[in-house]
Chains A and B, each alone.
Chain A
Amino acid sequence: MTTSSNPLALVAELTHRCPLHCVYCSNPLELSQRANELSTEVWSRVFREAAQAGVLQADFTGGEPLARPDLTELIRAARATGLYVNLITSGLPMDEARLASLVAAGLDHLQLSFQGAHEEIAAEISGTKSHAQKLRVLGWMKQHRVALTLNFVIHRRNLDQLDEMLALAESSGAGRVEFANVQYYGWAFANRENLLPTREQLDRSIEQLNAAQERLRGKLRVEFVVPDYYARFPKACMGGWGRKLMLITPEGDALPCHAAKIIPGLTFDNVKDCGLREIWDSSEAFQKFRGEDWMQEPCRTCDRRELDFGGCRCQALLLTSDAAATDPVCSLSPQRGKVDAILEAANSPAPQVNLPIKPIKIDWLYRPNPS
């Protein structure tokens, strides 16, 4: 058995219900039903067990966590165990009183997601009118001494609005802004061709973000994640499989990462049946790609294997059909050509269209709301 130290972060997917329908949602294609969601009591036990196992931070996410009527209680329960409570939210549905009750319950950090710099793009991406509500939430947040992050998910369709997004973050009073390029799993994988930025867009955005980091040092922390398709080496996905993070789905399955359920043959333990520490130490899913024994060449003998842990297992599966392969974004992977072909398509000029030209209408695959 490969040794495990202890988890540091618990990602609590409280529900898959969500008023938004974002085309890059990180939830699985098969969404959990409301009737199967864990109760307040089970979540409270999970938080206690997590704190005992050494977890420092809990990320409350979804779906939309605000869809849970017991969210205030859940925050209070997590905070009582000493966990640092992050709420990752779209800000819908929320009003001033509800925000105040979340803060009073012990919320440490609110992360408000944005789909762009203004309503038009936000509505296209999320399939919902939500931008004006987010601006209201920013206004209410000024009364609270709680950390605030603005999360912008960036991609081909909004990357050219970066200056406006930065200006919004600066004027919001947030301490932190995160620009996360879409990662291509689940819904984003299905919509990839309309989301993957061009190299020119990406280079320009990196320049803008580096300059913003310099300019705003000490005022606003600017963080960004580049799309790994354009990288030479893979990301250390989740900080390594089963090394730092544990995700609990709305129905209680314990996963090493958001997308792990797509990997065939993996079985997941459920927090209703097992303690969190036991799952962390001995669950088959957490053991499967922990450490180095599972690695193939070129990872097995690579000097970088302790830096990136072979990259992302789900990406390896999606692009090479083998979850144990080297992440194909790696320039050392024999299958890097597959990623290069995708990039080439994203960077070729649009084909000539014969007249009459129709307005471009993207055929998005929107994420539905589970029943």
Chain B
Amino acid sequence: MTPDLNSKPRLAPGCRLNDKSQQPRTLLMPERALRLNGPSLEIVERCDGQHTVQQLITDLQKLYSKAAPEKVEQDILGYLKLLHDQRAIDFEAAQGSAS
């Protein structure tokens, strides 16, 4: 499944980022925990049900402007698919489109 660019990823029930005061930043989920840093943290912080996949890509292309934009897009889509397969995120369909 390739994420729809207009859908809005958000953390699945029972998945949350630990508090900013706690290091390392970690995605807590049922029976596992995922250490996050750099781009992975930037991505997960934007899985808030507000950002679309496209906005997330645009944001990270700006943050990592030295990397080839296509490469950034590819990496993000791959990472979102992985998070989805792990049941860490859901995609909320864009308004008006069928999911």
Contact = CB atoms under 8 A, between A and B. Distances in A.
Interface of A: 8, 56-57, 82, 84, 86, 108-109, 144-149, 175-176, 217-218, 220-221, 223
The number of chain B residues touching the other chain, given as a range, is 10 to 19
Given A57-B33, A108-B28, A221-B86, A82 B18 contact: yes
B13 interface: yes
B51 interface: no
A57 B28 contact: yes
A56 B30 contact: no
Contacts of A146: 13-14
22 contacts: A56-B26, A56-B28, A57-B33, A82-B18, A84-B29, A84-B33, A86-B30, A108-B16, A108-B28, A108-B30, A144-B13, A146-B13, A146-B14, A147-B15, A148-B14, A149-B30, A175-B12, A175-B13, A175-B30, A176-B31, A218-B85, A220-B87
Contacts of B30: 86, 108-109, 147, 149, 175-176
A176 B29 CA distance: 11
A86, A149, A221 — most chain B CB neighbours (10 Å): A221
Contacts of A108: 14, 16, 28, 30
Contact of B18 (A8, A56, A86, A176): A56
B14 A175 contact: yes
Contact of A218 (B14, B16, B19, B84): B84
Contacts of A109: 14, 30
Given A84-B16, A86-B30, A218-B1, 13 more contacts: A8-B33, A56-B28, A57-B28, A57-B31, A57-B33, A82-B19, A108-B30, A109-B30, A146-B13, A149-B31, A175-B13, A218-B85, A221-B87
